[in-house]
Structure 1
Amino acid sequence: MNLIANFAVLSSRRVIFDVPVCDLGWEDALVFINELLSMPVGQTSISFVNAHNMLMTLRDEEYRSILARNLVLPDGIGLNIASKVAHGTPFPANLNGTDFVPALLTFMEQPRRIGLIGGQRDVVERAAVNFRRHAPWHELVVVSDGFFDKDDPSEVIREVERLKLDILIIGMGTPLQEKWAHHHIRTDHARLVMTVGALFDFVSGRVPRAPKIVRAMRMEWAYRLLQEPSRLWRRYVIGIPVFLYHVVRYRFRRHAGLKAIQNERAR
């Protein structure tokens, strides 16, 4: 995929709550991101966004602004519903980080040095071990757990600089991870930065994935709710209806805006 094709892919996005979200299928997304690593300059920051994250953007202007600069991939059935309502069709694929990141490591044939930041020390260490088993041609390095001083991350940044990474994977929870990466990770630190939420918990085995049939039905959120009801009930029981309300509201607001533009052009 050449530079012109890369720009074509970047232009193929659907706006949800004023955040451009890539509408790529699995293969196109893997090829595109792998090609970005081969380009001679620049840095790409990738965020995986679900319905809960989208609701955050409505009350967190800085988070929404950062996502607008990042390459945003759709995660979960909520984004499909939003795309269907706002644009007429669902996204081509569910590019959730828990599945996509291991698939990307497998897809990248050229060995890369990959740093991990986030989670508890034993969790991120086990995640690194499992990543090495999954794609042993890459060099996986634990830069830091997620419990360093966020106000003075100089020691962590020095370690990132020393390692000369190709890829940096940050799992510190949304929106902290996106804001931290935006403010502290420079282009010369890593060519590709991915903010991945709870990925290390899943890869390490600390939190079990839903059975494949449940994932195929796009019901992993319900499985997670059953596993951690006290932590997640508000996100799903309250968050889903609130999200659907804002999806419909956004659809009518977008439609009114387009109609106003058409009327202005017709004058």
Structure 2
Amino acid sequence: MAGDWGRLHHDDEFHPMNLISTAQQIAPKKILFGMPIFDLSWVSGLSLIAQYAATPGAHAQVSFLNANNINIMLRDAAYRDVLKGHIVLPDGIGMDLAASIIDGEPFAANLNGTDFVPALFTYMEEPRRIGLIGAKPGVLAGAVARFRKHAPWHEFVPVADGFFDNEELPIILERLEDAKIDVLLVGMGTPLQEKWIAQHIKPQHARVVFGVGALFDFVSGTMPRAPAWMRKIRCEWLYRLTREPSRLWRRYLIGIPVFLLHVLRFKLSARRDKAAAQQ
């Protein structure tokens, strides 16, 4: 189904202003923790976002949901409400585990942002204007340089680092609107970036907006990624924990058990609801 859906979205009969609502309706999803999460292959996921980026008048906000973000979402109603208007993509082994236990099978693909965003730039053959907001000034410059080397046919625009104050915000938004951005990357950390996007970024600022967390740190080389073999067995979280134990110990050593409890709670709730419906 996902492959057919991806091909369907290249059909020119779709009106640009109806693209988002149509995609939201027909794209395969899993409902986990009360949140619709898109269940797409790599090709279908890239095809969807590339279509938004190419469509005048389109506007989509994209978020990646992992185990830590689920924990945040379940205690932060404002963040949860923001996500309901986004294209939410599954990120990490925790989401596959939750899907397998609650829904019976894992997601079609692990569309984590660290891999998905660079893959999107490669996938989009037509030149696009890519805006970046967030991170420290040196980190942002490093990410822009790496992206330009990775996909030189796109134009990468460093709009602002992550250390601006409220007085600068109107200037930044005006700069965004003037730049005619196709894809905007906002790296401020979850849930701040999603709330900031919801409050400030409008269709005139960008066609597609991503909340990308620490992506600029990874791309710039400031924060090294796990070796390929650790990523292959899906233990990148363990590598990050060993690199930054003082910052990440709570997220993983406490957060993972909390996440598993949430999974079991939602599984039992779904089982009770199913039994009640059959009575």
**Does the alignment pair 1:162 with 2:178?**
yes
Change (3 A) 1:10 1:124: farther
- Alignment partner of 1:88: what SS? coil
Deviation at 1:258, TM superposition (A): 3.4
Instruction: State the match for 1:80 in structure 2.
Output: 96
**Does the alignment pair 1:60 with 2:76?**
yes
Separation of aligned partners in 1, 2:76 and 2:276: 27
What is the total number of aligned residue pairs between the two structures? 263
Deviation at 1:155, TM superposition (A): 1.9
Instruction: State the match for 1:181 in structure 2.
Output: 197
**Does the alignment pair 1:24 with 2:40?**
yes
Separation of aligned partners in 1, 2:129 and 2:249: 38
Residue 21 of structure 1 contacts residue 73 of structure 1 at CA under 8 Å; is this kept in 2?
A: yes
Deviation at 1:186, TM superposition (A): 0.4
Separation of aligned partners in 2, 1:40 and 1:148: 29
Separation of aligned partners in 2, 1:8 and 1:205: 35
What are the Cα deviations for residues 198-240 of structure 1, in whole angstroms up to 9, with x where unaligned?
Answer: 0000000000011111000000000000000000011000100
Code of the aligned partner of 2:81: S
Residue 30 of structure 2 contacts residue 37 of structure 2 at CA under 8 Å; is this kept in 1?
A: yes
Q: For residues 192-211 of structure 1, what are the structure 2 equivalents within 5 Å?
A: 192-211=208-227
Instruction: State the match for 1:102 in structure 2.
Output: 118
Instruction: State the match for 2:61 in structure 1.
Output: 45
Separation of aligned partners in 2, 1:142 and 1:110: 20
Code of the aligned partner of 2:69: N
Change (3 A) 1:22 1:103: same
Separation of aligned partners in 2, 1:133 and 1:56: 35
- Alignment partner of 1:153: what SS? helix
- Alignment partner of 1:47: what SS? strand
**Does the alignment pair 1:222 with 2:273?**
no
- Alignment partner of 2:181: what SS? coil
In structure 1, stretches of 5+ residues that fail to align are: none
Change (3 A) 1:134 1:232: same
Code of the aligned partner of 2:218: F
Given candidates 269, 274, 279, the residue that maps to 1:253 is 269
Residue 55 of structure 2 contacts residue 207 of structure 2 at CA under 8 Å; is this kept in 1?
A: no
What are the Cα deviations for residues 125-171 of structure 1, in whole angstroms up to 9, with x where unaligned?
Answer: 11001000000000001000001125762121111112111111000
**Does the alignment pair 1:36 with 2:55?**
no
Instruction: State the match for 1:126 in structure 2.
Output: 142
Instruction: State the match for 1:212 in structure 2.
Output: 228
Change (3 A) 1:260 1:42: farther
Structure 1 moving runs of 4+ over 6 Å: none
What are the Cα deviations for residues 39-79 of structure 1, in whole angstroms up to 9, with x where unaligned?
Answer: 34330100011100000011111101111110011111000
Separation of aligned partners in 1, 2:126 and 2:262: 43
Please provide the CA RMSD for this pair.
1.7
TM-score (norm 2): 0.90
